[in-house]
């Protein structure tokens, strides 16, 4: 029941990983949140944010280049649907940028990698998969169960 990341966000995160300068990946046999791990996650978060901003810029440029001009109504409707999906994706990624910036702030404050609820380490596997995670898997699942119960009432 843990919150999932949209496929587009995974693709953008994978692209950001490829943009990192070296092939280092944090390992469990290292000290947790060592300076090298912190640098890795900071670089990953910054690259992720930059990749999102570049994609948003490309979308904006395409929108400014002109309106949809398909003569066929079906083609035009298809193009408008595609643009609607693209704009919703960009809006979701805009919200993701604030979470990325929050994670970068947590790095600067020395809180990154630790659960905001329990104070326990979130874990490298979870952080590599979701660098903006703020809770351990157990804390996240408990949070989502509480949300579901409050929604159902």
pLDDT in tens, the chain (153 residues): 333 345 455 578 888 888 787 788 899 999 999 999 999 999 999 999 998 888 777 766 666 665 556 677 777 777 777 777 777 777 788 889 999 999 999 999 999 999 999 999 999 999 999 999 999 999 999 989 988 887 776
pLDDT value at position 12? 80
pTM: 0.76
114-130: b (≥16 Cβ within 10 Å) or e:
bbeeeeeebbbebbbeb
Neighbours of 107 (CB within 10 A): 16
Q: Which domains does the chain have, with CATH numbers?
A: 7-111 (1.20.120.910)
CA distance 144 to 150: 10
Pair 112, 41: CB distance under 8 Å: yes
């Amino acid at each position: 029941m843990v919150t999932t990341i949209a496929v587009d966000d995974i693709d953008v995160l994978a692209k950001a990983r490829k943009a990192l300068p070296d092939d280092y990946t944090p390992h469990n046999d290292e000290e947790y949140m060592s300076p090298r791990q912190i640098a890795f996650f900071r670089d990953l978060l910054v690259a992720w944010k930059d990749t999102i901003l570049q994609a948003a810029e490309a979308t904006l440029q395409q929108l400014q280049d002109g309106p949809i001009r398909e003569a066929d109504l079906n083609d035009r409707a298809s193009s408008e649907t595609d643009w609607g999906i693209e704009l919703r994706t960009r809006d979701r990624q805009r919200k993701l940028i604030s979470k990325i910036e929050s994670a970068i702030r947590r790095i600067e404050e020395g809180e990154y990698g630790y659960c905001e609820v329990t104070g326990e380490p979130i874990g490298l596997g979870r952080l590599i998969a979701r660098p903006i995670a703020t809770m351990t898997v157990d804390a996240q699942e408990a949070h989502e169960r509480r949300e579901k119960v409050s929604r159902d009432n």
